[in-house]
Amino acid sequence: MLLVSLFLAHFLGDFTPLSTRRMQAAKATGRPVGPIAAHAGVHAILVAAAVSISAWPGMTSLIAAMGVEFFTHLGIDWGRGRLGVANPVISDPQARAFWMALGIDQLAHYLVLVWIASIVL
């Protein structure tokens, strides 16, 4: 149940209005970092909610889960944006490379969520 809650939290943070146009624009280029950090903060809060509802962790585990989510989400999204600037084909939805990069990005996020589950449990 914890992983399902974490995956739902990830969906809500990335594919609903919780991810604003400003956040999306910053993620596309990796700049400015502020909106990307705000986006990572939304994810950290959603992870905290998912973990709290599903696992009832101690405060240390909850803070660790939030920290892991915030810093890894920030790094993954910033890195993908900067990589897209350096390699424009990665930013073109018509290109196969775009979909490969998106898939790797999402895989990285989901592997972090599995890591978070292992921290909490």
Quote the domain boundaries for residue 103: 2-120
- Supply the DSSP string of 60-109, one letter for each residue: HHHHHHHHHHHHHHHHHHHHHHHHHHHSGGGG-TTSHHHHHHHHHHHHHH
Peptide bond into 32 cis (omega under 30): yes
The domain tally of the chain equals 1
Q: What is the pLDDT of residues 8-67, one digit of tens each?
A: 999 999 999 999 999 999 999 999 999 999 999 999 999 999 999 998 888 999 999 999
DSSP state of 31: -
Q: What is the pLDDT of residues 76-103, one digit of tens each?
A: 999 999 999 999 999 999 999 999 999 9
Q: pTM of this prediction?
A: 0.95
Cα distance between the two ends of the chain: 12
pLDDT at 87 (0 to 100): 96
